[in-house]
Copies of this chain bind each other. A is one copy, B any other.
Amino acid sequence: MASAAASSCSSISMMFLTHSSAATSSTAHRLLPPGCLRRRRLHCHPLQMGPASLRCLTFPSSAAAPSPPHVVVPHASLSTEVNTKVIDGKAVAKQIRDEITAEVSRMKEAIGVIPGLAVILVGDRKDSATYVRNKKKACESVGINSLEVHLPADSTEEEVLKHISGYNDDPSVHGILVQLPLPSHMNEQHVLNAVRIEKDVDGFNPLNIGRLAMRGREPLFVPCTPKGCIELLHRHGVSIKGKRAVVIGRSNIVGMPAALLLQREDATVTVIHSRTSNPEEITRLADIIISAVGQPNMVRGSWIKPGAVIIDVGINPVEDTNSPRGYRLVGDVCYEEAIEVASAVTPVPGGVGPMTIAMLLQNTLISAKRMHNFE
């Protein structure tokens, strides 16, 4: 049941990710620590949530409960010492968006080109519509043109391919996103492969992943969420070279590319997954932890080496009767325990989440610059 619930909730748990359906990883119930008895994931469709309760420590609700989606935890109530430990993804993402805004403006003035991102949405899923709307808003906020086509759920694969082909050939489009999931009658892989690799700003094309894995090769685009994780480490001044890193989760969109990126930066990387027999023991050896499994509060304080840096990719909805929405979002890492042991932690929400869209904008800008040889 835990497994099924995790799956059904994945689209909301990945609210900030580029692809709603392609959640962080297959669930890993074997990874659940035995001590965290009060944790319960919401067993429901994301848009039909009922009551539940989830806490890893008995903090007063008002202090511990993160805000609903899109509202960043202010940490105002935390001590100064704790504040320095928080990797503020919202602030970093804003800084990056400001940099993008400046670059987009400089490019427009210099060569008259405005980067363009095209999004293809098929069907009427409300969550997908929300993601697409958020991407559009984000584009507008930095001056990137956003184009969108919304096709009915009963469209044929050929119609989708026709639109992809149009965007492939459109010189004003520098990035193309197909919002997932597609209706079940379509072959997702077939559709995604139709996107020209030079415009595949998601970076999920196998050719791109291969280049990411190979020494001496460069990917055209680094996938947005793992790129955001590494960017948070860089901008927080965390040294990666020679460090031991553990990536929890081996999904194609987060865990696997995050491990490849850490290795490219000379970390010694171990990937933990659902078949790992001693995840706690292995995680405790790490200087850097990136968790992307979609298991609320799985990583407890006892898993963390004192002084480790933690990037928490999980965005998991859990019951919270004190919240007006009846739920709140928590990460894969028990934040209250982690903040006591680690040297730095990303909060959820307000950590990796805001970085994903910032990296999508950055990839679109990179693509436009590359196509026009603009430096």
Contacts and interface: CB of A to CB of B under 8 A. Distances in A.
Interface in A47-103: none
A257 to B, nearest CB: 8
Task: Choose among A205, A263, A267, A268 the residue with the greatest number of B CB atoms under 10 Å from its CB.
Answer: A268
Given A214-B209, A251-B215, A273 B266 contact: yes
Contacts of A206: 207, 210-211, 213-214, 217
A215 B266 CA distance: 24
B269 A270 contact: yes
Contacts of A207: 206-207, 210
A237 to B, nearest CB: 19
B209 A256 contact: no
Given A206-B214, A210-B208, A252-B215, A270 B273 contact: no
Interface in A258-302: 260, 263, 266-273, 275-277, 282
Contact of A268 (B212, B242, B267, B275): B275
B268 A273 contact: yes
A250 interface: yes
Given A209-B210, A270-B268, A275 B217 contact: no
A210 B215 contact: no
B210 A276 contact: no
A283 to B, nearest CB: 11
B260 A213 contact: yes
Contacts of A212: 210, 213
Nearest to A243: B277
Contact of A276 (B211, B242, B256): B242
A282 B210 CA distance: 26
Nearest to A260: B213
A282 B268 CA distance: 10
A112 interface: no
Task: Choose among A212, A214, A252, A277 the residue with the greatest number of B CB atoms under 10 Å from its CB.
Answer: A214
A370 interface: no
A268 B271 contact: yes
A213 B256 contact: yes
A209 B213 contact: yes
A296 B359 CA distance: 44
A124 B250 CA distance: 45
Interface of A: 205-217, 241-242, 244, 250-252, 256, 260, 263, 266-273, 275-277, 282
